[in-house]
Chain A
Amino acid sequence: MHHVGSDEGAISALYTSLADRRRAVLLFGVCALFMSLLVDVATGPALLPITAVVGSVLRLAKDPTVDAIVWTIRLPTAFVAIAVGAALGLSGGIMQTILNNPLASSYTLGVSAGAGFGAALVIVLGVVVPLPEAWAIPVMSFLFAGLACAGVYGIGSLRGASPEMLVLGGIALLFLFQALLALLQFAASPEALQQIVFWLFGSLQKATWAKLWIISIVLGGAFPLLLVDAWRLTALKLGDDRARGLGVDVARLRLRAFAIISALTGVAVAFVGTIGFVGLVAPHIARMLVGEDQRGLLPASAVCGALLLSLASIASKSVLPGAIVPIGIVTSLIGVPFFVWLVTRSRRAFW
């Protein structure tokens, strides 16, 4: 078999073009994110001209009113939208990879529901941890996201931690936490009920610089850890047995990934509530653009998630004049038609 099918350089050129595509997609995504950020900051009850926004952000123009709006309200909100979107997109991407399932995300597998239950506990029962309520809710929902993750992994591990068992465990927990949440809502006072419902809608309005920092630190910690495992995660997409045949310690890899998912989802949901659609969809969009190589897919999932939530943030302030629609509602309302359009016109079926 020594007849050469293609010339020597073709394969390395192919490799380079795959790598270039990954880079181009990321670069384009980051640019789009930047534009979206500016528009997001400009949008709101007081519409600011983009030039004023840029001036204030770069500290060129000194208009105290604009500065106040931009720096204390709009910028943290806009950045939190991006950071939360990135965390959700990233955790969804990992989840779909390690469970080898297109429906996997923190939302569909009960992790967000767990976090929501944690938050509702604080709202209904009062502060259960020695913290002011503004922090007790995020802390409890973070803890419950971790608990839910551990639960998914625990149930799944009862029979060998296969992807199918883990997915079933996740579905079981989703129903469990939803039922518990419903129970709390049933028992709650009208005010508490309203607070829970509003929390579950998801909202960016409580964003602060401090919260942004916390989300960013978690993101910044998760990324390098994931990139170290990038090739092993890619191998996992060929199935457990083949990954093990390639020398991957599948069980350990899954456990590491679950820990990271728990932190990412926990911190995202803790500060903005449950936002469903992003974690499911961002990885699908990323996969269509860069394929399954996790060195590209993970960052692209994060960028797609960030962009989706940033755009949703703009939309949430624009659809109803004078009102800010909860972000969790907008993401799905606008995202679903877009996603259906995207999926039906894509030529390739990857699942």
Chain B
Amino acid sequence: MSVDIQTLSVRYGATRALDGVTLTAKPGEVLAVLGPNGSGKSSLVKAIAGLVRYTGQIVLAGSATRDSIGYMPQDTATRAALTVLEAVLLGRLGQLGLRVKPADVELARQVLTELDIAALAGRYLGELSGGQRQLVFLAQALAAEPKILLLDEPISALDIRHQLEVMEVVRRLTHERVLTTLVILHDLNIAARFADQAVLFHGGKVVGLGAPADIIDALRLAQVFGVEAAFSTTPDGRLVVTPVRPCRSPKAL
């Protein structure tokens, strides 16, 4: 089920976070959402998740309801006296009754195992490391068995191995279960490697949309991020971007 977005604008008071954004996320594809800090990435997924007010249109094609969205927030800090297992079960909020069905516990187990954090199940959220907590909130989003997966920087606190593992899981689930996945990322190489499509934001506007390798180029990196980058290709043909130095300050395209 695709997510069709047309002339989407989000404002917070006087701040224009998104300004006339039009794009489509297709089922079975990982869409990487890229852009500098404050460019409107989180606002985009929050608008889709129904967390902020917006103007324009967001159409979830097919039989999508609120329950078909799995959303993982950027901020995962919490001290709630909940165990990891309870937090993951909360991902299935729509299905939970006073008595939790064994099937729901089993699903939580599968997700925890998939993300390799089953050993943390009995720990309290406030007693986890930042990266561990990030994995827990990813597990919570996956536990919803979503059709639309919205991940706001799911790997920003993870070590290099977990980054690869998590992105691999996200890609596999997206392809296997034909999910429509939007992942906000800062690591362009990870985006180039794991995403099918990418969208680049700058000042609340879309300044690039297409295959990751096509939209990540020297000009855009200079103009959007204000960074001079070196480009190379691995033996198996993957694009590798190495930021070299900040160049002049970024300016609007």
Contacts and interface: CB of A to CB of B under 8 A. Distances in A.
Contacts of B121: 6, 10-11, 14
A11 B66 contact: no
A219 interface: no
A1 B83 contact: no
Contact of A349 (B51, B79, B106): B79
A231 interface: yes
A9 B37 CA distance: 43
Interface string A292-311: 11010000000000000000
B98 A4 contact: no
A65 interface: no
B102 A1 contact: no
Interface string B193-230: 00000000000000000000000000000000000000
Nearest to B86: A293
A227 interface: yes
A234 B73 contact: no
Interface in B107-127: 108-109, 112-119, 121-122, 124, 126-127
B253 interface: no
B66 A4 contact: no
A18 B86 contact: yes
A291 interface: yes
A18 B85 contact: yes
Contact of A231 (B49, B90, B108, B140): B90
Given A1-B169, A6-B118, A241-B73, A12 B124 contact: no
A350 interface: yes
Contact of B78 (A14, A231, A238): A238
Given A6-B118, A245-B73, A246-B90, A237 B82 contact: yes
Given A15-B85, A18-B86, A232 B93 contact: yes
Interface in B56-99: 66-67, 71, 73, 75, 78-83, 85-87, 90-91, 93-94, 96, 98
Given A238-B87, A246-B91, A247-B94, A5 B118 contact: yes
Given A11-B112, A246-B91, A351 B79 contact: yes
A254 interface: no
A232 B95 CA distance: 11
B83 A18 contact: yes
A231 B90 CA distance: 7
Contact of A291 (B79, B86, B94, B114): B86
Contacts of B100: 15
Given A287-B81, A349-B126, A238 B90 contact: yes
A230 to B, nearest CB: 7
Contacts of A287: 81
Q: How large is the interface on A (under 10, 10 to 19, 20 to 34, 35 or more residues)?
A: 35 or more
Nearest to B50: A244
A29 interface: no
Contact of A5 (B51, B83, B119): B119
A55 interface: no
A23 interface: no
A96 to B, nearest CB: 11
A5 B113 contact: yes
Contacts of A292: 80-82, 86
Contacts of A235: 90, 93
A227 B98 CA distance: 7
Interface of B: 49-51, 66-67, 71, 73, 75, 78-83, 85-87, 90-91, 93-94, 96, 98, 100, 102, 105-106, 108-109, 112-119, 121-122, 124, 126-127, 140, 144, 165, 168-169
28 contacts: A4-B118, A5-B116, A8-B109, A10-B118, A11-B108, A11-B112, A11-B118, A15-B85, A15-B100, A18-B83, A231-B93, A232-B93, A237-B82, A238-B82, A241-B73, A241-B75, A242-B78, A244-B50, A245-B49, A246-B90, A246-B91, A246-B93, A247-B66, A291-B83, A291-B124, A292-B86, A348-B127, A350-B126
